[in-house]
Amino acid sequence: MAKNKKNNKTIDVDALWQIERIGGLSLSPDGAQAVCSVTRFDMAENKGASSLWLLSTFGGGPRRLTSSGDKDGHAAWSPSGERIAFIARREQEGRKDETPQLYVIAPDGGEARRIVEFAPGIEAFKWFPDGKRIAFIAWVWPDLEGTKAQAKRFKEFKDRKETAYVTSEAQYRHWDRNLPMGRVAHLHVLDVASGRVRDLFEGSDVEMPRGDPDSNMFDIASDGRRIAFTHDPAKEKQPQNCKALAEIDLRSGKTRTLVVDKDWDFEAPRYSPDGERLAFTANHQGLKHTMPNHLALLDAGEPWQMLSAEWDHSVNAPLRWSADGESLNFTAEDRGRCNLYRYAIPARSIDVIATGGWVQGFDVAGDVVVTAADAMEHPVRVHAQRGNAASLRIERFNDELLAPFKLAAHDEVTLAGAQDDPVQMWVVYPPGFDRKKKYPVLHAIHGGPHAASGDTFHYRWNNQVFAAQGYVVACVNYHGSSGFGHAFLDSITHRWGELELQDIEAGTDWLLQQAWVDKKRIFATGGSYGGYMVAWMNGHVEPGRYRSYICHAGCFDWTAMFSDDAYTFHARELGAFYWDDLAKVQSQSPATFAKTMRTPTLVIHGALDYRVPDQQGLAYYNTLKAKGVDARLVWFPDENHWVLKPRNSKLWYGEFFDWLKRA
């Protein structure tokens, strides 16, 4: 039916929020099925709900596995394939979960069963090879012993009347929340049959990293007797500390260090199938903080070795071994795309297994590989591949919804940017683009800065929705962007704003040469570091070149930015702490150049943004108003660095487009 519909509609924010979002892909041990989470949103109710779905890797229709939870996710098959565990907050047997708990369900259906009630809640988990135990991460009070004591303290903390957050820690915030006050992240072991829980770090000062500890930070050996994990060995925990790898013997409870070096950051441990080797990522922070993650290997009794030292890409977690233990699978960025790669250890060679778009997730079982990948023209799709056979798409969740829409096409342009280096720019055309007509241009400047404008379907800054409003969308991967080699990424260090602006201006120059561009309607917009860039442009670009700016969650004043959750990184990026060299820091702050700011600007910020605190946006807006510059503020009291609620997102897009139209 979908094939007969005419593509005569243009996509809008309402359609964007009707798209079913796929995540959390996991393969069954035999590779025959994959489980994933699918999130659907209700604009009227202003919320979303996630359920688990089964996909056959041989093809055919998907089957819904869960339906009674709101946020069912992080699913993983048991080693025998007889059960699927997942994390959820549900109501069962008259008890409603106050925190996320572990559930299991049979893949052939039936009711999910809560297998533990652990008051502090569960963050991430992995099955043991015997299928009888599960290791999980939870935030607990380190001075307590036993689950009953944790439950008692949790209730007391929940029922307290005081509201203050009190800490002496250097690292106490992350993105949009305070870290659990007085608690640290520990590894635990759950006996599935009895529900008994054992805290592996109880009585020690060992803890998991504090920034979103997940299942990539630990792994269980094939004999089920050892767990390798990532941790920060420094006494005072800070985000920039180099992490080490350690291993705990589950019988003796003793922990030993596997890999530690004050100049190297080690993460993502993964045992080989025989349990004799450990793969992980290694990052030479002592050389430069911008160094890429390399693939590394520890063989029993041997010094650790780097495998990808000559490869100018950064390796992403997770790592997945092949069944024969001869190769490792992982994703890495390459020129605005993210591909799945395989590193063959004996040959020391790297091959592409699946190309982006953007591979958002993958899993491997035997000779079967599944990928969840999106691209500029479509949201995430799931494909399965057996051996050398062609990949097979195994779901069609959004095909019927998107069938009526005429989507935007795009080109990849190479510019001569700063230092005469080649710079990539994506150009996204309005649906039905006609080169004989004139179109306004919208720069969508990416954040990071060490990220990229990718061939990806971005829900918060969706190029399809932008282009559907009649704009040619330009996305410049300026100096500092990831996926173009380390030298390119590191080139902006200690001189933020300089090369990036030259690259964006080169993009504008190229666009102004095109006959189809309305030269009087060039706009620049950006979020996070992209917001920093449009504020920087307002102080450095002659008024009139850009009709107006939109600054979402942008950095404005690097001295005041010391209130963010990543304040220890500032000196690394800017070249100094503000008390050591205030002039150097201020020379990279848009606030320093406020006197020359004259271009109208829409400023957007969320109060729960701890990465770029909202005082940055308020200070920028107040500065413009005090100077008499046309400005508008959209401030969300309940959003973080992003805008995640459906109704708020609709308002965001509405304000975004209204601002551009009035300029």
3-state SS track over 550-571: EEECCCCCCCHHHHCCCHHHHH
Kindly report the CA angle at 262 between 261 and 263, in degrees rounded to 5?
90
Q: Which amino acid is at 324?
A: D
Kindly report the CA angle at 133 between 131 and 138, in degrees rounded to 5?
135
Q: Is 508 helix (H, G, I), strand (E, B) or coil?
A: helix
Distance CA 101, CA 210 (A): 20
Low-confidence stretches of the chain (pLDDT beneath 70): 1-6, 663
Distance CA 278, CA 274 (A): 10
Model confidence over 246-260: pLDDT tens digits? 999 999 999 999 999
What is the predicted pLDDT for the residue at 426?
A: 98
Q: Residue 393 has which token pair?
A: 């798409």
**Burial state string for 83-101 with b = 16 or more CB within 10 A and e = fewer than 16:** bbbbbbbbebeeeebebbb
Q: How far is CA 403 from CA 1, 19, 400, in A?
A: 9, 12, 5
**Which is nearest to 650 in space by CA: 48, 50, 43, 20?**
43
349 DSSP β-pair partners = 344
Burial (CB count within 10 angstroms: exposed 0-12, middle 13-18, buried 19+), residue 35 = buried
Q: Please give the biggest Cα pair distance in the chain.
A: 75
Distance CA 337, CA 630 (A): 37
Q: What is the DSSP string of 326-379?
A: SEEEEEEE-SS-EEEEEEETTTTEEEEEE--SEEEEEEEETTEEEEEEEETTEE
Q: Are 74 and 87 in contact (CB under 8 A)?
A: yes
Dihedral (CA of 390, 396, 398, 400) sign: positive
329 DSSP β-pair partners = 320, 342
Dihedral (CA of 620, 651, 519, 406) sign: positive
DSSP state of 483: T
Distance CA 86, CA 301 (A): 36
Question: How many Cα neighbours within 13 Å face the side chain of 396?
Answer: 10
Distance CA 528, CA 556 (A): 10
Distance CA 433, CA 447 (A): 28
Q: How far is CA 59 from CA 361, 382, 384, in A?
A: 19, 11, 9
Distance CA 478, CA 489 (A): 9
Q: Residue 333 has which token pair?
A: 């960025």
Model confidence over 66-106: pLDDT tens digits? 987 778 899 999 999 999 999 999 988 788 999 999 999 99
**Omega within 30 of 0 (cis) for the link into 590:** no
134 DSSP β-pair partners = 127, 190
What is the predicted pLDDT for the residue at 446?
A: 98
H-run or E-run covering 468? helix 463-468
Domains of the chain: 406-662 (3.40.50.1820)
Residue position matching structure tokens 């012993």:
145
Average pLDDT across the chain, whole number: 95
Model confidence over 342-383: pLDDT tens digits? 999 999 999 999 998 999 999 999 999 999 999 999 999 999
Distance CA 78, CA 82 (A): 6
Other CB atoms within a 10 A radius of the CB of residue 81 amount to 17
Q: What is the DSSP string of 283-296?
A: E-TTT-TTPPPEEE
Residues contacting 146, CB < 8 A, separation 6+: none
Q: Are 137 and 208 in contact (CB under 8 A)?
A: yes
Does the global pTM surpass 0.85?
yes
Check residue 60 and give left, alpha or beta (phi > 0: left; psi -120 to 50: alpha): left
Burial (CB count within 10 angstroms: exposed 0-12, middle 13-18, buried 19+), residue 557 = buried
Q: Which amino acid is at 338?
A: C
What is the predicted pLDDT for the residue at 93?
A: 79
What is the predicted pLDDT for the residue at 109?
A: 80
Distance CA 244, CA 233 (A): 7
**Which is nearest to 363 in space by CA: 318, 419, 428?**
318
What is the predicted pLDDT for the residue at 3?
A: 45
Burial (CB count within 10 angstroms: exposed 0-12, middle 13-18, buried 19+), residue 175 = middle
What is the predicted pLDDT for the residue at 2?
A: 43
Share of the chain above pLDDT 90, in %: 94
